[in-house]
Structure 1
């Protein structure tokens, strides 16, 4: 994770970066990525598997 702001979560890739605007945790409803990041403690430097 490169950054988290009100717009979403910026995630680095092998060829650049993408901004996640919405995520759907397993077994849950879709939610704004910024809310997900706050609730799950996602901060810059977090690795997503």
Structure 2
């Protein structure tokens, strides 16, 4: 388990996706939602 922080939920989500490693965001919900938004945008752009 690793604890990290960032300036914004979107910025942190983008960083986490850039790690290209399996991960689970335990909290906060705002970061989890941002991660899902970023993942959906990535998938939509690469259909």
Instruction: Calculate the TM-score normalised by the size of structure 1.
Output: 0.25
Q: Which has the higher helix share?
A: 2
Instruction: Calculate the TM-score normalised by the size of structure 2.
Output: 0.26
Q: Which has the higher strand share?
A: 1
